[in-house]
Structure 1
Amino acid sequence: MKANILSWLEEGSVSIPGVLLTHYKKLNMNEQELATLLHIISFSTKGNEFPTPAELAARMTITAMECTGMLRRLIQKGFLSIKDAHSPEGIIHEKYSLQPLWEKLVDQFLLDTKGKQADQHQNDEMDLYTCFEREFGRPLSPFECESLAMWMDDDLHDPIIIKAALREAVISGKLNFRYIDRILFEWKKNGIRTIEQARSHSRKFRQHQNHQRENQGDLPENAKTIPFYNWLEQ
């Protein structure tokens, strides 16, 4: 009994990239092809880098002849290749290479990531238009929609920065696109690219304004500054 358990432990384990299991369908790979590749990986971990169709078929529910066809299809579909290798003694032998498979997986993973980023960007854009229409209390005009698109596509402002500029305009009581455009221009000129930097910049400006108002305490009422963050006067 103990010898059987030890034999089981000596079989070891096979490390399989999770992305292979989650993306093999997108690569147009079926379950038999996946199983064949997994067995090739398993053989390789034990030092057999070129298992025969008979060796593979012994572990599977297909015949050696069917396994031969399977290997041929894997090579034709670009999941597997055969390369020359050198043993420590200098003997040349063949081995299976899974590099084509890993390259396809990387390409598919990057494609999926790019697609998710594009979807997120589209959602951010829609959310941005909604925020502007809510603050303006009306649908945006074609010119205003074009301005929003230019801020994102031409000026490369992050939607969250545009929202922050909208908030500044609301706080300042200057809710118009010309004022928001000036805010974004000033932020870009000062290297402000994150919401934290924008908040810090606004906070420092308001502190400066408060200090100026305190120094103007003895001035006539009509000579005091208006407590707004007026970007157009920068």
Structure 2
Amino acid sequence: MKSNILSWLQEGNIIVPALLFSEYRKLNLNEIELVLLLNILTFLEKGHEFPTPEELSARMTISVSDCNEMLRRLIQRGFIEITDEYSNEGIRFEKYSVKPLWEKLVDQFLINNKTNKEMDKKAEETDLYTCFEKEFGRPLSPFECESLGMWMDDDHHDPIIIKAALREAVMSGKLNFRYIDRILFEWKKSGIRTIEQAKSHGQKFRQKQTQKMNPKVESQKSSVPFYNWLEQ
């Protein structure tokens, strides 16, 4: 019993990226091809760098000829390659390399990451239009939609910053695109690019305004002063 367990432990383990299992279909690999690649990885891990079709098929449910054909296709499609190496004695030998497989997997990961970012950006933009229509209480005009697009595409304002400028305009009782555009212009000029910086900037300004206000006038007005960006 103990010897059986030791034999099992001596078989070793291989490390396979989880991404390979989740993305192999997008790489146009089928399950048999995936298992063949995993067997090649197992042989490489054990130091057997050029397993024969006979050795590989013995671990699978495919014939030697099918295994040989599948290896040929995997090489042609750029998933594995055969490289020439030389031993310390100068003897030439061949070995399998799965570097092309890892390169394809990295490319797929980058594509997924780019796609996810594009989807997140699109969702943010959709949410931004919804926020504006909610605050304005009506659908945006073509000119207003174009202004929103220019703020994001031409001026490179983050949707979060645009939302912050919208809130500033709402709080100031000056809900119009010209006012919001002025806020964004001033923030960009001041190097404000994050919501934290925008909040800090507004708080500092309001603190200064509070200190300047006459106590008598302050009691007659709102306890929170607002910045008239259009007067700048």
TM class by shorter chain equals over 0.9
Structure 1 counterpart of 2:229: 231
Give aligned pairs, total.
229
Determine the C-alpha separation between the residues in 1 that align with 2:87 and 2:20.
Answer: 29
Structure 2 counterpart of 1:121: 121
Secondary structure in structure 2 of the residue aligned to 1:79: coil
Gapped regions of structure 1 (runs ≥ 5):
none
Query: Counterparts of 1:1-234 in structure 2 under 5 Å?
Result: 1-213=1-213, 216-217=214-215, 227-234=225-232
Report the CA distance between 1:232 and its aligned residue: 1.7
Residues 36-56 of structure 1 deviation map (CA, whole Å, 9 limit, x = unaligned): 100000000000111110110
Determine the C-alpha separation between the residues in 2 that align with 1:199 and 1:130.
Answer: 22
Report the CA distance between 1:227 and its aligned residue: 2.6
Determine the C-alpha separation between the residues in 1 that align with 2:143 and 2:218.
Answer: 42
Residues 111-155 of structure 1 deviation map (CA, whole Å, 9 limit, x = unaligned): 111111111111111100000000001110000000000000111
Secondary structure in structure 2 of the residue aligned to 1:138: coil
Determine the C-alpha separation between the residues in 2 that align with 1:208 and 1:229.
Answer: 11
Determine the C-alpha separation between the residues in 2 that align with 1:49 and 1:233.
Answer: 75
Name the TM-score, length of structure 2 as normaliser: 0.94
Secondary structure in structure 2 of the residue aligned to 1:94: strand
What letter matches 1:149 in structure 2? Answer: G
Gapped regions of structure 2 (runs ≥ 5):
none
Determine the C-alpha separation between the residues in 2 that align with 1:147 and 1:218.
Answer: 41
How large is the Cα RMSD of the aligned pairs?
1.7
Determine the C-alpha separation between the residues in 1 that align with 2:175 and 2:217.
Answer: 29
Q: Structure 1 vs Structure 2: percent identity of aligned residues?
A: 67
Determine the C-alpha separation between the residues in 1 that align with 2:215 and 2:6.
Answer: 88
